[in-house]
Amino acid sequence: MIVTLTVNPSFDRTVELDAPLERGQVQRAVVTGQEPGGKGVNVSRALHAAGCDTLAILPGASTDPLVVALEASGIPTATVSIDSPIRSNITLAEPDGTTTKLNDPGVHLSEAVVAELIDVVVAQSASASWLVLAGSVPPGVADTFYATLVRAVRASRAAPRIAVDSSGAPLAALVASGERVDLIKPNAEELLQLAESQGLDTGSATHEQLEADPELAVSLAQALLSPALGAVLVTLGSHGAVLVDAEGAWRAPAPRIVARSTVGAGDCSLAGYVLADQRGDLPAGRLAQAVAHGAAAASLPGTTVPTLEQTHPGDIVVTTIPRIAAGRI
């Protein structure tokens, strides 16, 4: 069982255009769709599509359209009731795969709701192999939320492995806290922000440079590793991904695809990683499945998640990157 927490879920509406977006103009949609969203929710959706047992934890009323849609699709949920409806996000998808997202900040959560969420996560994690904490935190939730939650889970008798996919201040606070996590999954831009927040020298590097030069990403990821941080999976968009842990570093370029929507591709990469770990794959195999899952998601419309049959990890070429000396950036 893989448990996910999405503290700031969303009901994602995707609008596909038949021409590039023109600001200030009237354009017609070719296709529209709506799916339950938020990073952890997307991870659970991808795991469920791959036949893996998962539980999605989130704040929301049992009658909320997002919760109803999740359960109608067969994904078990554990919810903490709130009075307000779950937020809605809008994604505009252009024909070349360019996506523009309009994200609502989310529902303000009270201290009582936050405390109850932590209790539910601790209880449900007791029987889990992985706990995935993913996404932004909504108004009312402190930047230290993930650090506090990890501490509570680790204090339990049967703590699972923990993966975190977040960004900005909540991720920075978690890494700085020294609370033990097994994996973080930033993209190139988030990796740069995290490295800077931890006082690492990033030089004049940009996230575009990290995407094009995986050794740069590996260098920063290696500098972040510590006894409290086991591994870093860095997704590099159309350039694939790198994986770094205490034993080594690996790179996997992305396969050639026709991108339709990149929304949720990183979430699917994380799902692919933990799925491969569940079946006992070594690091190279986990990275291959992560890249295959992300690429398959990007080739599908909107926030559609791939089935396991739509991913092709055997086509992904994984190479070992020698340990890079400090100061690469």
Q: What is the pLDDT of residue 263?
A: 81
Share of the chain above pLDDT 90, in %: 78
Q: What is the pLDDT of residue 316?
A: 97
Mean pLDDT, residues 257-269: 89
Longest dimension (CA), the chain: 58
Provide the 3-class DSSP secondary structure of residue 122.
Answer: helix
Spatial CB neighbours of 320, under 8 Å, sequence gap ≥ 6: 248, 249, 250, 284
Confidence grade of residue 97 (pLDDT, cut at 50, 70, 90): confident
Q: What is the pLDDT of residue 35?
A: 87
Is residue 329, in this structure, part of any structural domain at all?
Answer: no
First-to-last C-alpha distance (Å) of the chain: 39
Q: How far apart are CA 35 and CA 66, in angstroms?
A: 8
Q: What is the pLDDT of residue 163?
A: 98
DSSP 123: H
- Each residue's pLDDT tens digit, 157-166: 778 999 999 9
Q: Are the C-beta atoms of residues 9 and 37 closer than 8 Å to each other?
A: yes
Is residue 326, in this structure, part of any structural domain at all?
Answer: no
- Each residue's pLDDT tens digit, 271-325: 999 999 999 999 999 999 999 999 999 999 878 899 999 999 999 999 999 876 5
Is residue 25, in this structure, part of any structural domain at all?
Answer: no
- Each residue's pLDDT tens digit, 138-195: 998 999 999 999 999 999 877 899 999 999 999 999 999 999 999 999 999 999 999 9
Is residue 133, in this structure, part of any structural domain at all?
Answer: yes
Answer yes or no: is pLDDT of 328 > 70.
Answer: no
Q: Which domain holds residue 92?
A: 2-19+30-320
Q: Are the C-beta atoms of residues 182 and 225 closer than 8 Å to each other?
A: no
Is residue 236, in this structure, part of any structural domain at all?
Answer: yes
Pairing assessment for the beta strands 241-245 and 319-320 based on DSSP bridges:
unpaired
Which one is predicted more confidently, 13 or 245? 245
Q: Are the C-beta atoms of residues 139 and 109 closer than 8 Å to each other?
A: yes
Q: How many domains does the chain have?
A: 1
Calculate the average pLDDT of the chain.
93
- Each residue's pLDDT tens digit, 35-83: 899 999 999 999 999 999 999 999 999 999 999 999 999 999 999 999 9
Q: Are the C-beta atoms of residues 41 and 118 closer than 8 Å to each other?
A: no
Report the CATH number that the domain containing residue 160 is assigned in CATH.
Answer: 3.40.1190.20
DSSP string, 88-105: EEEEEE-TTS-EEEE---
Burial of 313 (0-12, 13-18, 19+ CB in 10 A): buried
Q: How far apart are CA 200 and CA 229, in angstroms?
A: 16
- Each residue's pLDDT tens digit, 196-233: 999 998 888 898 998 988 999 999 999 999 999 999 99
Is residue 74, in this structure, part of any structural domain at all?
Answer: yes
Query: Radius of gyration (Cα) for the chain, nearest Å?
Result: 19
Q: What is the pLDDT of residue 160?
A: 95
Amino acid identity, residue 289? Answer: Q
Strand partners, 252: 241
Provide the phi-psi class of 174: left if phi over 0, else alpha when psi is between -120 and 50, else beta: alpha
Spatial CB neighbours of 159, under 8 Å, sequence gap ≥ 6: 125, 153
Strand partners, 102: 90
* Cross-sheet strand order for the sheet of 248-252: 77-80, 54-59, 2-5, 130-134, 161-165, 183-184, 231-235, 241-245, 248-252, 319-320
Amino acid identity, residue 270? Answer: L
Q: What is the pLDDT of residue 193?
A: 96
pTM: 0.92
Q: What is the pLDDT of residue 120?
A: 97
Spatial CB neighbours of 23, under 8 Å, sequence gap ≥ 6: none
Spatial CB neighbours of 318, under 8 Å, sequence gap ≥ 6: 250, 251, 252, 284, 285, 287, 288
Confidence grade of residue 96 (pLDDT, cut at 50, 70, 90): confident
Burial of 328 (0-12, 13-18, 19+ CB in 10 A): middle
